[in-house]
Structure 1
Amino acid sequence: MRGVIPTRAACLQAVASRDTRFDGQFFTAVRTTRIYCRPSCPAMTPREENMSFYPSAAAAQDAGYRACRRCRPDTVPGSPDWDVRADALARAMRLIGDGVVEREGVPGVAARLGYSTRQLQRITLGELGASPLAIARSQRAHTARILIETSPMPLSDVAYAAGFGSIRSFNEAIKVAFDRTPTQLRDLNPNLRTLKGGSAGESASSGGLRGTKTVLGRVDVRLAFRPPLASGPLFGHLAATAVPGVEEWRDGAYRRTLRLPHGPGIVALAPRTDHVAATLWLSDPRDLTPAIGRCRRLLDLDADPIAVDAALGADPALAPLVAAGPGARIPRTVDASELALRIVLGQQVSTAAAATTTGRLVERLGEPVIDPAGDLTRLFPTPDAVATLEASEIPGPRARAEALVTLASALASGRLELGPGADWDEAGRTLASLKGLGPWTIELIAMRGLGDPDAFPAGDLGLRRALASVGDPEVGRWRPWRSYAAQYLWATLDHPINRPPQERTP
């Protein structure tokens, strides 16, 4: 197995030093206890000859190991590889993380990539030591654990929400992954009560899983990240560019509506010292996994800031910026198609003007939603809806309006694919072929929509000013992290995007 993990010597050193930088990048399994841990687990003191290393939690579980109860390796941030790589495996992992296996099966993932099911299995087994189905099964177990431990949902409904096809498979998967039954996990929080009567300690039974939708309501989740995290510029950007009706800043949290596979949702995201607090309201519990994945992608929480900062901090021009605010993240998106449309609407106008113009489009075409805890009113319009407009119906310059409709039509027809399984090179070529989309627009879509770590919108006025302030260095020397270099440069500007509202002076 080729794998993506470090050498055995490096793994042993990481375990011996409890190095948190490797959490999520490989997993340590102990043959004598049949337990797997994160490298930094404080409880692990096995002999070297009893340790094996796996590139994924799914591979460790497939090999017969269960998750450590102390370090909870299933809760670590995901591998940074899946956000910064553009190959077939990374695209497959993004699709699996978005819940495509639950909705379309493994053949659906393979078809989106243009591979056969057998080819896809060879790819994931060769590098991750687990099949696509095993990876999805591990993901389901993690989602179920979140619901069992944080919500009072009946266990039968938890099984349905996590994507299990039967109560039996749910019970077996939880037992294998955590060496406890769902009931035993629920008993760790005796204050929970089920929503439909009965005690929280009830076992799941086959009679509880139904085909009807269960309204999940509110779920609170802690989103882990690799420190450090420069939360000010990250949340400042999201708040400053918020589109009325779709996004807002309220009570120290960024809130927005979500268009999810089974219905609308709303999320509130608030930065904390060692995690991001996420509160989700979902109309269908099956959307919990894709909702969490999209929020993590929005905040770039699976990034490896140590690796990025080590590379950029070695450059004399960027070293002071990295030292002043380490842990830069790229403010990304929950929907790349939405982001692309918003970037076009924001061409050659201020941040505030772009939000106003986009808000008018949302008011006209966005589907209404009910917000239980704020003033959000709409989902962002789909490309199909925007493509129905005539350029004359869109305020602003004619060329920009025509570019917006052209982009929306390409997205609606499938000619342009920007989703989690998108081929970055193909998407770039298609974007370049669309009239009205120049390098600035394409680079921003690549950076914030596709997750390219090396995109750089060199024509951006703010970037040009920031570059001048550090001596106009050659940006090519920052490869392959130019997207992160841009975040450090933007952070030097006196602009609302760099500070959350509560930190801004009146």
Structure 2
Amino acid sequence: MTSTLHRPAELRADGPFELAASARFLEGFTPAARADAAREPDVLRLAFPVEGSWQHAGVLIRQRAPGVVTISVEAGGDVAEQAVRQVRRILSLDLPGEGFAAVGEADPVVGRLQARYPGLRPVLFHSPYEAACWAVIAARIRVIQAASIKRRIAQRYGEPVEVAGQQLASFPSPEALLSIDEPLGLPEIKRERLRSVARAASEGLLDAEELRALDPENALRRLQRLPGIGPFSAELILIRGAGQPDLFPANETRLHEEMRELYKMPDATAAELAAVAGQWKPYRSWVALLLRTHREARTS
């Protein structure tokens, strides 16, 4: 990949943020397949196709001071600015976080989770496109198996990108994914669904900013028009792909189990749990991530 190193951009978080917390999250987040992420707690390397142009970019992210990160971009063509915007969304730095502490002050359960995971904000898939591909790949198979398949797809159809001395496999662009012609552990129906996702991304139907601008219910309905995308997957794409900050996952059963445990509501219905989550506004997705992170740590 021919690339140009662009001058670092500096980002300041509005509210608590620690890059080391993001790195620790990625280290344990199987879809990312990044067991190396937390080896350098103040440094994070990412490679991804940049939304819109779908040119591949590599980014080196460093935390220079509390709440301050710098982003160096290696990319072909004039895509550095868009890559930085994408990183802001991936790390949830595109949203004000000052009010998040107030949620914890009002809800002791949330407050304890914030104290346990200081500076952790949602770490997203690189794009709704990549989140939708993950949803297709992971349907009805083990997460570890799905991560292995996603990695093989990136290695076969994606782009190798060197980021500060380390080579990462960037996930294929929608155009490249349309050419998928090997099983790679996937049945033909899933390969065709991946091609449908690629076509939707090429047509702008998975644009992150547009999905976030829609009423969440309308966005979820749009996403469920994609073959193989049901209610659970649509929530995943909207929350963890587009970065919708204030949506309670109505179909995430493990989250609901953790809420019943921590709130001591063993028989609560999903509607009753959603009512509890109402006090987390406008950070319902953020709190849900803390709950899921705690659940995974407690049950692994």
Q: TM-score, normalised by structure 1?
A: 0.48
Q: Is contact 1:248–1:255 with CA below 8 Å preserved after alignment?
A: no
The reply to whether residue 276 of structure 1 matches residue 65 of structure 2 is no
Structure 2 CA distance for partners of 1:451 and 1:403, relative to 1, 3 Å: same
Structure 2 CA distance for partners of 1:459 and 1:399, relative to 1, 3 Å: farther
User: How far, CA to CA, are the matches of 1:328 and 1:387 in structure 2?
Assistant: 35
Number of residues of Structure 1 aligned to a counterpart in Structure 2: 279
Q: Which residue pairs with 1:304 in the alignment? A: 96
Q: Is contact 1:362–1:381 with CA below 8 Å preserved after alignment?
A: yes
Q: Which residue pairs with 1:258 in the alignment? A: 48
Computed over aligned residues only, the root mean square deviation of the Cα atoms, in angstroms, reads 3.4
Q: Is contact 1:399–1:436 with CA below 8 Å preserved after alignment?
A: no
User: How far, CA to CA, are the matches of 1:234 and 1:400 in structure 2?
Assistant: 30
Give the secondary-structure state (helix, strand or coil) at the position aligned to 1:254.
Answer: strand
Q: Which amino acid aligns with 1:482?
A: R
Q: Is contact 2:45–2:60 with CA below 8 Å preserved after alignment?
A: yes
Residue number among 175, 193, 196 corresponding to 1:384 in the alignment: 175
The reply to whether residue 431 of structure 1 matches residue 223 of structure 2 is yes
* Greater RCO structure (CA 8 Å; 6+ sep): 2
The reply to whether residue 352 of structure 1 matches residue 144 of structure 2 is yes
Structure 2 CA distance for partners of 1:346 and 1:456, relative to 1, 3 Å: farther
User: How far, CA to CA, are the matches of 1:324 and 1:489 in structure 2?
Assistant: 11
Deviations 1:41-78 (A, max 9, x none): xxxxxxxxxxxxxxxxxxxxxxxxxxxxxxxxxxxxxx
5 Å matches for 1:152-191? none
Deviations 1:152-186 (A, max 9, x none): xxxxxxxxxxxxxxxxxxxxxxxxxxxxxxxxxxx
Q: Is contact 1:447–1:456 with CA below 8 Å preserved after alignment?
A: no
The reply to whether residue 373 of structure 1 matches residue 161 of structure 2 is no
Q: Which amino acid aligns with 1:279?
A: S
Q: Which residue pairs with 1:410 in the alignment? A: 200
User: How far, CA to CA, are the matches of 1:338 and 1:262 in structure 2?
Assistant: 12
Q: Is contact 1:456–1:486 with CA below 8 Å preserved after alignment?
A: yes
Give the secondary-structure state (helix, strand or coil) at the position aligned to 1:455.
Answer: coil
Give the secondary-structure state (helix, strand or coil) at the position aligned to 1:492.
Answer: helix
How much has 1:345 moved relative to structure 2?
Answer: 1.9
Q: Which amino acid aligns with 2:207?
A: L
Give unmatched runs, 5+ long, in structure 2: 266-271
Q: Which residue pairs with 2:268 in the alignment? A: none
Give the number of the structure whose residues are more often strand, by fraction.
2
Give unmatched runs, 5+ long, in structure 1: 1-213, 499-506
Give the secondary-structure state (helix, strand or coil) at the position aligned to 1:420.
Answer: helix
Larger Rg: 1
Give the secondary-structure state (helix, strand or coil) at the position aligned to 2:209.
Answer: coil
Q: Is contact 1:270–1:277 with CA below 8 Å preserved after alignment?
A: yes
How much has 1:230 moved relative to structure 2?
Answer: 5.0
Q: Is contact 2:48–2:57 with CA below 8 Å preserved after alignment?
A: yes
Give the secondary-structure state (helix, strand or coil) at the position aligned to 2:159.
Answer: coil
How much has 1:374 moved relative to structure 2?
Answer: 0.6
Q: TM-score, normalised by structure 2?
A: 0.76
The percent identity for this pair of structures is 26
How much has 1:344 moved relative to structure 2?
Answer: 2.6
